Structure 1
Amino acid sequence: MALFKCIIVSCALFAIVECALLPAVPINTEIDPHPQYAYAYNVQDAITGDSKSQQEVRDGDVVKGSYSVVDADGSLRTVFYTADPINGFNAVVQRGPVPVPVAAPVAAPVVAARPFLG
Protein backbone atom coordinates (compact mmCIF):
# COMPACT_ATOMS: atom_id res chain seq x y z
CA MET A 1 0.00 0.00 0.00
CA ALA A 2 2.87 2.34 0.78
CA LEU A 3 4.31 1.75 -2.69
CA PHE A 4 0.95 2.63 -4.25
CA LYS A 5 0.81 5.93 -2.30
CA CYS A 6 4.39 6.70 -3.32
CA ILE A 7 3.52 6.16 -7.00
CA ILE A 8 0.45 8.40 -6.73
CA VAL A 9 2.40 11.18 -5.03
CA SER A 10 5.21 10.88 -7.59
CA CYS A 11 2.76 11.14 -10.49
CA ALA A 12 1.11 14.19 -8.92
CA LEU A 13 4.47 15.92 -8.40
CA PHE A 14 5.52 15.08 -11.95
CA ALA A 15 2.29 16.60 -13.30
CA ILE A 16 2.84 19.79 -11.30
CA VAL A 17 6.44 20.12 -12.55
CA GLU A 18 5.34 19.49 -16.16
CA CYS A 19 2.63 22.16 -15.93
CA ALA A 20 5.10 24.65 -14.50
CA LEU A 21 7.48 24.06 -17.43
CA LEU A 22 4.87 24.60 -20.16
CA PRO A 23 4.90 28.06 -21.71
CA ALA A 24 1.80 30.17 -21.30
CA VAL A 25 -0.25 30.14 -24.48
CA PRO A 26 -2.25 33.29 -25.14
CA ILE A 27 -5.93 32.59 -25.66
CA ASN A 28 -7.65 34.50 -28.41
CA THR A 29 -10.90 35.69 -26.88
CA GLU A 30 -12.03 37.72 -29.90
CA ILE A 31 -14.87 35.97 -31.69
CA ASP A 32 -16.29 37.20 -34.95
CA PRO A 33 -20.00 37.83 -34.22
CA HIS A 34 -20.94 37.35 -37.89
CA PRO A 35 -18.45 35.06 -39.67
CA GLN A 36 -18.57 35.04 -43.47
CA TYR A 37 -16.71 33.12 -46.14
CA ALA A 38 -17.12 31.57 -49.56
CA TYR A 39 -14.98 28.98 -51.29
CA ALA A 40 -15.11 26.55 -54.16
CA TYR A 41 -12.91 24.04 -55.93
CA ASN A 42 -13.14 21.76 -58.94
CA VAL A 43 -10.97 18.77 -59.89
CA GLN A 44 -11.17 17.20 -63.33
CA ASP A 45 -8.16 14.92 -63.84
CA ALA A 46 -8.27 13.10 -67.18
CA ILE A 47 -5.26 10.93 -66.28
CA THR A 48 -6.60 9.48 -63.01
CA GLY A 49 -10.30 9.96 -63.73
CA ASP A 50 -10.70 11.95 -60.52
CA SER A 51 -13.73 14.21 -60.86
CA LYS A 52 -15.15 16.21 -57.95
CA SER A 53 -16.17 19.70 -56.93
CA GLN A 54 -17.42 21.60 -53.91
CA GLN A 55 -18.71 25.06 -53.10
CA GLU A 56 -19.80 26.53 -49.78
CA VAL A 57 -20.97 29.91 -48.47
CA ARG A 58 -21.34 30.99 -44.85
CA ASP A 59 -23.20 34.08 -43.71
CA GLY A 60 -23.35 34.24 -39.93
CA ASP A 61 -24.84 31.01 -38.59
CA VAL A 62 -26.18 29.89 -41.98
CA VAL A 63 -24.08 27.60 -44.19
CA LYS A 64 -25.13 26.51 -47.70
CA GLY A 65 -23.21 24.41 -50.14
CA SER A 66 -22.94 21.41 -52.38
CA TYR A 67 -20.42 18.87 -53.54
CA SER A 68 -20.30 16.45 -56.44
CA VAL A 69 -18.23 13.34 -56.97
CA VAL A 70 -18.18 10.61 -59.59
CA ASP A 71 -18.67 7.35 -57.72
CA ALA A 72 -16.89 4.09 -58.51
CA ASP A 73 -19.94 2.86 -60.44
CA GLY A 74 -19.64 5.84 -62.80
CA SER A 75 -22.67 7.74 -61.50
CA LEU A 76 -22.56 11.35 -60.38
CA ARG A 77 -23.48 11.95 -56.74
CA THR A 78 -24.37 15.55 -55.82
CA VAL A 79 -25.15 16.57 -52.26
CA PHE A 80 -26.84 19.90 -51.55
CA TYR A 81 -26.70 20.90 -47.89
CA THR A 82 -27.71 23.68 -45.51
CA ALA A 83 -27.04 24.19 -41.83
CA ASP A 84 -28.46 26.77 -39.45
CA PRO A 85 -29.27 27.01 -35.73
CA ILE A 86 -33.02 26.52 -36.24
CA ASN A 87 -33.16 23.59 -38.70
CA GLY A 88 -29.79 21.98 -38.01
CA PHE A 89 -27.98 20.17 -40.82
CA ASN A 90 -30.03 19.07 -43.84
CA ALA A 91 -28.79 17.35 -46.98
CA VAL A 92 -30.41 16.26 -50.22
CA VAL A 93 -28.57 13.66 -52.30
CA GLN A 94 -29.08 13.36 -56.05
CA ARG A 95 -27.65 10.59 -58.21
CA GLY A 96 -27.54 10.49 -61.95
CA PRO A 97 -25.42 9.98 -65.01
CA VAL A 98 -22.24 11.96 -65.45
CA PRO A 99 -22.90 14.80 -67.88
CA VAL A 100 -20.93 14.42 -71.09
CA PRO A 101 -18.95 17.56 -71.79
CA VAL A 102 -19.88 19.23 -75.04
CA ALA A 103 -16.70 19.63 -77.02
CA ALA A 104 -16.30 22.42 -79.50
CA PRO A 105 -16.24 21.12 -83.06
CA VAL A 106 -12.73 20.71 -84.35
CA ALA A 107 -12.23 22.04 -87.85
CA ALA A 108 -10.50 19.71 -90.26
CA PRO A 109 -7.28 21.07 -91.69
CA VAL A 110 -7.73 22.79 -95.01
CA VAL A 111 -5.66 21.22 -97.75
CA ALA A 112 -5.50 23.02 -101.02
CA ALA A 113 -5.79 20.75 -104.01
CA ARG A 114 -3.21 21.28 -106.70
CA PRO A 115 -4.10 20.55 -110.27
CA PHE A 116 -2.56 17.43 -111.73
CA LEU A 117 0.07 18.42 -114.28
CA GLY A 118 1.07 15.19 -115.56
Structure 2
Amino acid sequence: MNTKILILLGLAAVAAADSREFRGYGDSRSFESYESSEARYDFNYAVRDDSSGNDFGHQEARDGDNTQGSYYVHLPDGRRQTVTYYVDGDSGYIADVKYSGEARYPDSYESASFESYEAPRRRYYDSNESK
Protein backbone atom coordinates (compact mmCIF):
# COMPACT_ATOMS: atom_id res chain seq x y z
CA MET A 1 0.00 0.00 0.00
CA ASN A 2 2.79 2.45 0.92
CA THR A 3 4.59 1.59 -2.32
CA LYS A 4 1.51 2.48 -4.33
CA ILE A 5 1.26 5.86 -2.60
CA LEU A 6 4.95 6.58 -3.24
CA ILE A 7 4.63 5.62 -6.92
CA LEU A 8 1.54 7.80 -7.28
CA LEU A 9 3.28 10.79 -5.66
CA GLY A 10 6.34 10.24 -7.88
CA LEU A 11 4.22 10.20 -11.03
CA ALA A 12 2.44 13.37 -9.93
CA ALA A 13 5.79 15.10 -9.34
CA VAL A 14 7.07 14.06 -12.78
CA ALA A 15 3.88 15.27 -14.46
CA ALA A 16 4.06 18.62 -12.63
CA ALA A 17 7.75 19.09 -13.47
CA ASP A 18 7.17 18.18 -17.11
CA SER A 19 4.38 20.75 -17.49
CA ARG A 20 6.60 23.68 -16.43
CA GLU A 21 9.08 25.36 -18.72
CA PHE A 22 12.57 25.55 -17.23
CA ARG A 23 14.41 28.84 -17.55
CA GLY A 24 18.09 28.57 -16.73
CA TYR A 25 20.49 31.36 -15.88
CA GLY A 26 21.84 31.42 -19.43
CA ASP A 27 18.39 31.95 -20.95
CA SER A 28 18.23 35.42 -22.53
CA ARG A 29 14.44 35.41 -22.96
CA SER A 30 12.48 37.78 -20.74
CA PHE A 31 10.48 36.44 -17.81
CA GLU A 32 6.75 37.03 -18.04
CA SER A 33 4.92 37.76 -14.82
CA TYR A 34 1.65 35.98 -14.12
CA GLU A 35 -0.78 36.97 -11.42
CA SER A 36 -1.57 34.07 -9.15
CA SER A 37 -5.11 33.28 -8.24
CA GLU A 38 -6.22 32.55 -4.69
CA ALA A 39 -5.04 29.16 -3.47
CA ARG A 40 -7.87 26.65 -3.27
CA TYR A 41 -7.50 22.91 -2.61
CA ASP A 42 -8.90 20.01 -0.63
CA PHE A 43 -7.25 16.64 0.02
CA ASN A 44 -7.36 13.67 2.36
CA TYR A 45 -5.81 10.25 2.81
CA ALA A 46 -5.95 7.41 5.30
CA VAL A 47 -3.78 4.34 5.84
CA ARG A 48 -4.78 1.33 7.91
CA ASP A 49 -2.71 -1.84 7.75
CA ASP A 50 -3.58 -4.38 10.42
CA SER A 51 -0.54 -6.56 9.74
CA SER A 52 1.91 -3.73 10.56
CA GLY A 53 -0.29 -1.79 12.98
CA ASN A 54 -0.14 1.39 10.88
CA ASP A 55 -3.20 3.59 11.27
CA PHE A 56 -2.90 7.27 10.27
CA GLY A 57 -4.54 9.87 8.07
CA HIS A 58 -4.70 13.54 7.13
CA GLN A 59 -7.22 15.91 5.59
CA GLU A 60 -6.81 19.58 4.72
CA ALA A 61 -8.73 22.25 2.85
CA ARG A 62 -7.64 25.73 1.83
CA ASP A 63 -9.53 28.65 0.40
CA GLY A 64 -7.35 31.75 0.00
CA ASP A 65 -5.72 32.59 3.34
CA ASN A 66 -8.01 30.25 5.31
CA THR A 67 -6.57 26.75 5.84
CA GLN A 68 -8.01 24.08 8.10
CA GLY A 69 -7.43 20.40 8.59
CA SER A 70 -6.68 17.53 10.91
CA TYR A 71 -4.47 14.49 11.11
CA TYR A 72 -4.38 11.43 13.34
CA VAL A 73 -2.00 8.64 14.23
CA HIS A 74 -2.25 5.44 16.27
CA LEU A 75 0.42 5.71 18.99
CA PRO A 76 2.53 2.74 20.18
CA ASP A 77 0.88 2.90 23.63
CA GLY A 78 -2.54 2.17 22.09
CA ARG A 79 -3.97 5.71 22.08
CA ARG A 80 -5.01 7.71 19.06
CA GLN A 81 -3.64 11.25 18.71
CA THR A 82 -5.75 13.69 16.70
CA VAL A 83 -4.55 17.19 15.81
CA THR A 84 -7.09 19.67 14.46
CA TYR A 85 -5.62 22.92 13.14
CA TYR A 86 -6.35 26.09 11.23
CA VAL A 87 -4.46 29.00 9.73
CA ASP A 88 -6.39 32.18 9.04
CA GLY A 89 -4.31 34.91 7.41
CA ASP A 90 -1.57 36.17 9.72
CA SER A 91 -2.86 34.38 12.84
CA GLY A 92 -0.35 31.57 12.38
CA TYR A 93 -0.78 27.84 12.93
CA ILE A 94 -3.32 27.15 15.70
CA ALA A 95 -3.53 23.48 16.76
CA ASP A 96 -5.75 21.52 19.15
CA VAL A 97 -4.27 18.15 20.18
CA LYS A 98 -6.50 15.43 21.64
CA TYR A 99 -5.93 11.83 22.70
CA SER A 100 -8.50 9.06 22.73
CA GLY A 101 -8.25 5.65 24.31
CA GLU A 102 -6.17 4.59 27.28
CA ALA A 103 -2.40 4.17 27.28
CA ARG A 104 -1.24 0.57 27.84
CA TYR A 105 2.27 -0.29 28.93
CA PRO A 106 3.82 -3.73 29.41
CA ASP A 107 4.27 -4.90 33.03
CA SER A 108 7.94 -5.57 32.43
CA TYR A 109 10.44 -5.74 29.62
CA GLU A 110 10.11 -9.55 29.52
CA SER A 111 6.41 -9.28 28.59
CA ALA A 112 7.01 -6.69 25.86
CA SER A 113 6.63 -7.72 22.25
CA PHE A 114 10.29 -7.17 21.37
CA GLU A 115 13.13 -9.59 22.03
CA SER A 116 16.03 -8.78 24.28
CA TYR A 117 19.17 -7.89 22.36
CA GLU A 118 22.69 -7.68 23.73
CA ALA A 119 25.07 -5.47 21.80
CA PRO A 120 28.30 -7.12 20.63
CA ARG A 121 31.31 -6.42 22.82
CA ARG A 122 34.08 -4.33 21.33
CA ARG A 123 37.70 -4.30 22.25
CA TYR A 124 39.63 -1.10 21.96
CA TYR A 125 43.38 -1.31 21.35
CA ASP A 126 46.08 0.85 22.82
CA SER A 127 48.23 2.55 20.17
CA ASN A 128 51.28 0.63 21.49
CA GLU A 129 49.49 -2.73 21.38
CA SER A 130 49.40 -4.98 18.31
CA LYS A 131 46.03 -5.90 16.93
**Normalised-by-shorter TM-score class:** 0.5 to 0.7
Number of positions where the alignment pairs a residue of Structure 1 with one of Structure 2: 78
Q: Tell me, in whole angstroms, the C-alpha distance in 1 between the residues paired with 2:73 and 2:30.
A: 41
C-alpha deviation, 1:28, in angstroms: 6.8
> 1:59-74 maps to which residues of 2 (within 5 A)?
59-74=63-78
What is the RMSD computed on CA atoms of the aligned residues? 2.4
Structure 2, unaligned runs of 5 or more: 1-23, 103-131
* Matching residue of 1:13: none
Higher Cα radius of gyration: 1
Q: Out of 64, 79, 86, which is 2:83 matched to?
A: 79
**Cα displacement string for residues 29-64 of structure 1 (whole angstroms, at most 9, x for unaligned residues):** 324231100000000011111000100000001100
Structure 1, unaligned runs of 5 or more: 1-20, 99-118
Change (3 A) 1:26 1:60: farther
Q: Tell me, in whole angstroms, the C-alpha distance in 1 between the residues paired with 2:66 and 2:79.
A: 30
Change (3 A) 1:23 1:62: same
* Matching residue of 1:23: 26
Change (3 A) 1:65 1:28: farther
Q: Tell me, in whole angstroms, the C-alpha distance in 2 between the residues paired with 1:32 and 1:87.
A: 22
Q: Out of 77, 91, 97, which is 1:93 matched to?
A: 97
Q: Percent identity?
A: 31
Q: Which runs of 4+ in 1 moved over 4 A?
A: 25-28
* Matching residue of 1:10: none
Q: Out of 50, 54, 67, which is 2:54 matched to?
A: 50
Change (3 A) 1:63 1:51: same
Change (3 A) 1:22 1:88: closer
